[in-house]
Structure 1
Amino acid sequence: MQTATLFDLPAIQTGPQVAPAAAPAKKARRPRKVHASVPLMPSTTVPDKLIREADWVVVSSSGGKDSQAMLWYVVRRAKALGMLDKVVVVHADLGRVEWEGTRELAELQALLAGVRRFEVVQASGADLLDRVEIRYGKLKAKAEKEAVERGEDPTTAKVPPAWPSSAARWCTPDAKRGPIRTLYTRLTAELTHLGRPVRILECIGQRAAESSQRAKLAEVEINQGASNGRRHVTTWRPIHAWSDRKVWREIARSRLPYHPAYDWGNRRLSCVFCVLGCNSDLVNGARRVPELAAAYAETEVKVGADFKKGLSMREIIRRAQALEEAEGPAARPPMGTAMAEHIGWAETNKYRNRRAALYGLAA
């Protein structure tokens, strides 16, 4: 059936004229109510005072270099205050989409740092790729419904991209923030005998150097979204002002092992394929984990949109294959390659030797 065009309409219409139905008004979102007991501003921004005032110091660890450096920095300060028993390390397990061995590495780093409590949280149900498909189904249904309400053909409705993006980072609250708050609930329940809101200091390894958006974040602030009448959560970004060089110096100081993906050339570590990752990281991921890259490419077809705006997973795979053909399978770089780029081989070799002596790990 062909859709009528302007030239198919009669010049004069007869009969009663009916005004088009107005689109249903969107319900305004109610502002989230914050419990009256939750402070608007942190009582202090001094690191040692933050730790002293907290009932729990929760360090979020992705297993990456920033959270590793942050972990060691926070542990050093807590030890000096005699308050290491307050520290809890939490890892949000992302399942098949994160680098192999990340969860185990985060646990090992916590253990070697002297933290006795390591927690793993994980979003229930679907993983990231499954959630993209579910999100696509909902967006498609909504777009088609709105098209029908406008009197348009629903099969021509434009569906917004279902993938996460810098403008729509729904993956972070789904896979990390939400599950971590379930830990806050458990930690709060353990201290109900205090008879007051439990004070949680959440430590996050975000740095200003990573992006202009993160540069705008405060080093210390009240997390009103995670706070309520039973707990008050203060967000602390201990390494917010640190450079890459300072991060690697802290890792060298800690002697803790870091993820080998950095020696392979990665700048970031979380999801193997992160929409915020640089192109070289994505291609590196496709070379190291080709079966996961293929799964992302399949999802692209199902949802009718590229994984990253202007860069499809199919193109990422193509680039990875071209490098494999040109260079052959790459040999694993020497352990310490990434660190040496920032602090030199002399300091890196000291780190390797001390790490081997302390923990019996290969240099």
Structure 2
Amino acid sequence: MQTATLFDLPDIQTLQEAPAAAAPAKPKPKRTSRVHASVPLEPSTTVPDEMIRDADWVVISSSGGKDSQAMLSYVVRRAKALGMLHKVVVVHADLGRVEWEGTRELAELQAALAGVPRFEVVQAKGADLLDRVEIRYGKLKTKAEEEARERGEDPAAVKVPPAWPSSSARWCTPDAKRGPIRTLYTRLVAELAHLVLGRPVRILECIGQRAAESTQRAQLAEVEINRGASNGKRTVTTWRPIHAWSDRTVWREIARSRLPYHPAYDWSNRRLSCVFCVLGCNNDLVNGARRVPELAAAYARMEVTVGADFKKGLSMREIIRRAEALEAAEGPAARPPAGTAMAEHVGRAMTSKYRARHAALYGLAA
């Protein structure tokens, strides 16, 4: 074995001039959210009437859509029977230009007609959904370029991840709905500050999610503690009152309640809230492009800005093309008769009774 001599070793100057080996990048520490020790792991009860009795506030989230209003009718009916309607608050997260016209007003009307004493509107501060897509794109682009430089690659050649919301990245919901609604929870807690409860304020949040909507929603619990929204001052229990309901059951409750529903359903929409929801079916998206073409055009322009299609495998440009093809073939669609959507699920007889009783009670066209 040959032994290295002093002359075989590099001198000190050579060592100093040699480039140092690149130190491996340290992974950024993950942020961990701490839950207050007072927040329970499981709800104390899952019995509807017991949950309403135990709650200090019963907050019903209403998008103005059919599931929200069916849930509203059902929960209010139970609260009235218990003599606890004074606890009920209906909250609508206003999405601005991206939601169907008249949605906020309809949600308020539904709450008033149901007899709910309090209706609240919350809204995300600053940018709306489309603006947030552009802001998100800028952040993603900056991050991708920085990572490329760290790897010694050309930052101009990076591929930026899609900035649009998706089924796997539904950042729009916490930004536009959950976050603003939690500001209401803070206010509701403050309103009870004069009471000496000796415990956190109990908020029962009612959400109109149904198992029939998607595989993901089918896996949600009907009742659970919302540990992310709970803290040392409040315990938030999530209740999904209509989680097991079918479409028919939803429409039967609407017919029974006599509350008005949004006309977009008569236009054949399956969902309501954002005109263009990434989780919406193709029919809803094309329907939206026919009814609100200026908003569809804004989405198409944003696709160009962020370099990605609005929905994976389906661009807004294609949605607009399909809408224009239908307009060319059929002409401007005539508004279907009121009650068309309900009749498809519960029949014409029940729908006729709904419309007649609705007009008699409220003096409004169904």
Q: TM-score range by the shorter chain?
A: over 0.9
Residues 195-220 of structure 1 show CA distances to partners (whole Å, capped at 9, x for unaligned) of: 33110000000000000000000000
C-alpha spacing 1:335/1:25, structure 2 compared with 1 (3 Å): same
Matches within 5 A, 1:101-120: 101-120=102-121
Q: In the alignment, which residue of structure 2 is the partner of 1:5? A: none
**1:287 and 2:277 matched:** no
Aligned partner of residue 265 in structure 2, secondary structure: coil
Q: In the alignment, which residue of structure 1 is the partner of 2:12? A: none
Note if contact 1:206-1:237 (Cα within 8 Å) is conserved in structure 2: yes
Note if contact 1:200-1:231 (Cα within 8 Å) is conserved in structure 2: yes
Residues 46-93 of structure 1 show CA distances to partners (whole Å, capped at 9, x for unaligned) of: 000000000000000000000000000000000000000000000000
- Structure 2 distance, partners of 1:308, 1:20, is 43
**1:82 and 2:63 matched:** no
Aligned partner of residue 76 in structure 2, secondary structure: helix
Q: In the alignment, which residue of structure 1 is the partner of 2:127? A: 126
Cα shift at 1:26: 2.1
Q: In the alignment, which residue of structure 1 is the partner of 2:7? A: none
Cα shift at 1:29: 1.7
**1:222 and 2:254 matched:** no
- Structure 1 distance, partners of 2:223, 2:203, is 13
Any gaps of 5 or more consecutive residues in structure 2? 1-14
Aligned partner of residue 194 in structure 1, secondary structure: coil
Q: In the alignment, which residue of structure 1 is the partner of 2:28? A: 27
C-alpha spacing 1:74/1:19, structure 2 compared with 1 (3 Å): same
Q: Which amino acid aligns with 1:26?
A: P
- Structure 1 distance, partners of 2:256, 2:245, is 15
Any gaps of 5 or more consecutive residues in structure 1? 1-14
Q: In the alignment, which residue of structure 1 is the partner of 2:176? A: 175
Cα shift at 1:24: 2.0
Cα shift at 1:193: 2.5
Note if contact 1:56-1:199 (Cα within 8 Å) is conserved in structure 2: yes
- Structure 1 distance, partners of 2:343, 2:27, is 55
The count of aligned residue pairs is 350
Q: Which amino acid aligns with 2:69?
A: Q
- Structure 2 distance, partners of 1:55, 1:252, is 30
Cα shift at 1:21: 2.3
2:341 to 338, 341, 352: 338
Cα shift at 1:304: 0.2
Q: In the alignment, which residue of structure 2 is the partner of 1:99? A: 100
Cα shift at 1:181: 0.1
**1:300 and 2:303 matched:** yes
Cα shift at 1:18: 5.0
- Structure 1 distance, partners of 2:24, 2:300, is 37
Residues 208-241 of structure 1 show CA distances to partners (whole Å, capped at 9, x for unaligned) of: 0000000000000000000001010000000000
Q: Which amino acid aligns with 1:106?
A: A
Larger Rg: 2
Aligned partner of residue 295 in structure 1, secondary structure: helix
Q: Which amino acid aligns with 1:325?
A: A
C-alpha spacing 1:26/1:106, structure 2 compared with 1 (3 Å): same
Q: In the alignment, which residue of structure 2 is the partner of 1:147? A: 148
Cα shift at 1:194: 2.9
- Structure 2 distance, partners of 1:257, 1:249, is 13
Aligned partner of residue 152 in structure 2, secondary structure: coil
- Structure 1 distance, partners of 2:145, 2:21, is 18
Residues 108-158 of structure 1 show CA distances to partners (whole Å, capped at 9, x for unaligned) of: 000000001000000000000000000000000000011011000000011
- Structure 2 distance, partners of 1:207, 1:188, is 28
Cα shift at 1:23: 4.6
Moved more, 191-200 or 145-154: 191-200
Cα shift at 1:33: 1.1
C-alpha spacing 1:20/1:306, structure 2 compared with 1 (3 Å): farther
Q: In the alignment, which residue of structure 1 is the partner of 2:210? A: 207
Q: Percent identity?
A: 85
Cα shift at 1:20: 5.5
Aligned partner of residue 285 in structure 1, secondary structure: helix
C-alpha spacing 1:20/1:288, structure 2 compared with 1 (3 Å): farther
Residues 171-191 of structure 1 show CA distances to partners (whole Å, capped at 9, x for unaligned) of: 000000000000000000001
Note if contact 1:23-1:149 (Cα within 8 Å) is conserved in structure 2: no
- Structure 2 distance, partners of 1:129, 1:274, is 12
Q: Which amino acid aligns with 1:260?
A: P
Q: In the alignment, which residue of structure 2 is the partner of 1:257? A: 260
**1:310 and 2:299 matched:** no
Q: Which amino acid aligns with 1:350?
A: K
Q: Which amino acid aligns with 2:266?
A: D
- Structure 1 distance, partners of 2:161, 2:324, is 30
Residues 297-325 of structure 1 show CA distances to partners (whole Å, capped at 9, x for unaligned) of: 00000000000000000000000000000
- Structure 1 distance, partners of 2:267, 2:163, is 30
Cα shift at 1:362: 1.6
Q: Which amino acid aligns with 1:331?
A: A
